[in-house]
Chains A and B, each alone.
Chain A
């Protein structure tokens, strides 16, 4: 996502891109050939990490139509803090 597009959508959180799928692959999140042209993409995944780098919560959907809502994730964030 470009900086302009990010500003336009008033999104203040950090967007990171993984064009070579390095981190996606390292974290075991690769969904092989799932892109429209048959490229490898990331599977949907959400992690909550505390200050010491420990995973406190995670979510791996079984169905790409079913994703956690922002409210659901914010509730988890509040519970951890």
Chain B
């Protein structure tokens, strides 16, 4: 029979080795060791422990996700600030997925991967954080569509409201000449929410 690889060679040798146990011949003995070492790591005496990188990356990305909340205060350009709420949500989600992958490794192949205890703790906290992120995302985006609001090109109806000294002020008054004599060409009306 043609030898195609170590596996085939071992399959040929192994039955005779088992039948003829204990093996006297030194060459057969070498084959037996060879056969055992290429088998699953589960039966190998020295198991190679590996770092549970999924758990560590999950923890790192979750922490970065929390940190992205502070980016609002750094006055990012409009394109980034519009993406920020999504980034706030996405990073903790990715972190959580990685943590679950890491936990699956820690529990499923506990001989290889560590982190059963700390990984469970971190994942539980990350899960709560993610729930909080979803709540915040929904809460801050719960702004009415304002379909009835004035549209670009429409004329704004006149109004009169009190200014900070209690003086009634109308929209057309805002276009009157200011103290230095200059006449405003446009008025920027900002409706402030009052509560952040």
Could you list which residues of chain A lie within 8 angstroms of chain B, going by C-beta atoms?
A: 1-3, 5-6, 14-18, 22-24, 26-32, 34-36, 41-58, 60-66, 68-69, 72-73, 77, 80-81
Contact = CB atoms under 8 A, between A and B. Distances in A.
18 contacts: A5-B164, A14-B174, A16-B162, A27-B156, A28-B148, A31-B143, A44-B143, A45-B149, A45-B191, A46-B189, A46-B191, A48-B189, A51-B175, A53-B171, A56-B186, A66-B84, A77-B186, A77-B188
A34 B195 contact: yes
Interface string B49-89: 00000000000000000000000100100100110110000
Given A17-B162, A36-B195, A51 B146 contact: no
Contacts of A72: 78
Q: How large is the interface on B (under 10, 10 to 19, 20 to 34, 35 or more residues)?
A: 35 or more
Contact of B185 (A23, A36, A53, A80): A80
Secondary structure class of chain B's binding surface, majority of residues: loop
A60 to B, nearest CB: 6
A3 B186 contact: no
Interface of B: 72, 75, 78, 81-82, 84-85, 140-144, 146-159, 161-165, 169, 171-172, 174-175, 184-196
Contacts of A23: 159, 161
A77 B184 CA distance: 11
Contacts, number: 155
A6 B156 CA distance: 27
A65 B149 contact: no
A53 B165 CA distance: 25
A42 B194 contact: yes
Contact of A56 (B81, B152, B169, B196): B152
A43 B143 contact: yes
A75 to B, nearest CB: 10
B161 A44 contact: no
A55 B163 contact: no
Nearest to B78: A72
A16 B163 contact: yes
